[in-house]
Chains A and B, each alone.
Chain A
């Protein structure tokens, strides 16, 4: 049987950075404060089901792009879900989904960050859809790979 390999978004970004295939400019967001959200499936659920949660990898990548970022509390295995997982962005139960996010936004507000970095399409969609409900319209929600692309040194 033919075997295929796979890489996660984290593996590939780390490979590019470690092997110096890409160069990053840390000064791009030097005046910004970021925080990182652990998606349930990349973190806690991956740890449970596959024996490895992707906690350290995204934080290492984030540190290659920015000097100023801080973790939410609690995070990693005890992280709080954004409320957009499990298909809730597509079930039409929107009020429930907004209510769900209340604790997450308390965490983000407490962190003092003006940029939220996430490596998950569902989380990204949920944060952008809900941030206005919690008075955080100006919070910039950024994919982890978007942050890397923004910091690329090209040419």
Chain B
């Protein structure tokens, strides 16, 4: 039998959307991923369909669809896949192919702000330092935390922390938990005055180059402040 005439194997592009070669071509079409996915059913989405789309060369459809953005990349599908296909990796790769201006919501805009200003909020340094010191003063008024202050840019501290942008935006109370623990433990810690952003939204948008810049800035802070240990960011 002339299989080539039935299945046009030579038209498959094995480099397409790969996180490693032939990723989508390992799929057995069993559908266990679809059964495991909490997002299955939204807009007719399920991981198996997305994988088939890529395998069949419908890359443009996949890239412009909402599907890859509805997925939370939780990895439940990959965990149950009998062929160990990294489906979240594939989703992230598809996201990376979207025109940056068409990335939904604030995800790319926040990342762009971070690349330009050092944080997702475009929060100026003076305002940021004011917020940290203000919250620090509130802690110092609590029994047992007398004398507490926020060690910003402390050279040679043992531990460097970063800040999740929402903690200097709408959730400043949540800055206090770790700071109180540091105080009680007698920790020698610090927080940077610049490039303090702890999130790295390039992870979500599939932007490896941006992720590298954000990570590099944390390393620069560690070098500048002569820090040995980083508390793993958000």
Q: Known: A81-B74, A81-B76, A90-B110. Is A125-B42 also a contact (CB below 8 A)?
A: no
A154 neighbours in B (Cβ, 8 Å): 143-145, 180, 184
Q: Are A87 and B205 touching (Cβ within 8 A)? A: yes
A45 close to B (CB within 8 Å): yes
Q: Are B75 and A91 touching (Cβ within 8 A)? A: no
Instruction: Out of A5, A12, A22, A40, name the residue touching B228 (CB < 8 Å).
Output: A5
B72 neighbours in A (Cβ, 8 Å): 40, 81, 83-86, 88, 100
Give the CA-CA distance A5 to B178 in the complex, in Å. 19
A149 vs chain B, min Cβ distance (A): 4
Instruction: Give chain B interface residues in 24-76, CB to chain A under 8 Å.
Output: 38-39, 42-43, 66, 69-76
Interface size in chain A (residues, C-beta < 8 A):
47
Q: Are B181 and A13 touching (Cβ within 8 A)? A: yes
Q: Are A149 and B75 touching (Cβ within 8 A)? A: no
A104 neighbours in B (Cβ, 8 Å): 38
Give the CA-CA distance A8 to B110 in the complex, in Å. 25
B107 close to A (CB within 8 Å): yes
Q: Are B71 and A86 touching (Cβ within 8 A)? A: yes
Q: Known: A2-B223, A92-B104, A146-B174. Is A45-B75 also a contact (CB below 8 A)?
A: yes
Q: Are A9 and B181 touching (Cβ within 8 A)? A: no
A146 neighbours in B (Cβ, 8 Å): 174, 177
Q: Are B231 and A88 touching (Cβ within 8 A)? A: no
Which residue of the partner chain B has the closest CB to A20?
B185
Instruction: Out of B107, B143, B176, B185, name the residue touching A21 (CB < 8 Å).
Output: B185
Q: Are B143 and A90 touching (Cβ within 8 A)? A: no
Interface string of A1-34 (1 = CB under 8 A from B): 0101111110011001000011000000000000
Instruction: Out of B180, B199, B201, name the residue touching A152 (CB < 8 Å).
Output: B180
- Using A7-B231, A86-B72, A91-B104 as known contacts, list a sample of 17 further A-B pairs with CB atoms less than 8 Å apart, ordered by residue number in A: A4-B219, A8-B232, A22-B185, A40-B72, A45-B75, A79-B76, A86-B88, A87-B203, A90-B105, A91-B107, A93-B66, A93-B70, A102-B38, A104-B38, A121-B234, A145-B181, A146-B174
**Could you pull out 10 A-B pairs where Cβ atoms are within 8 angstroms?**
A7-B230, A16-B187, A44-B74, A81-B72, A90-B110, A93-B104, A100-B38, A121-B164, A143-B174, A154-B180
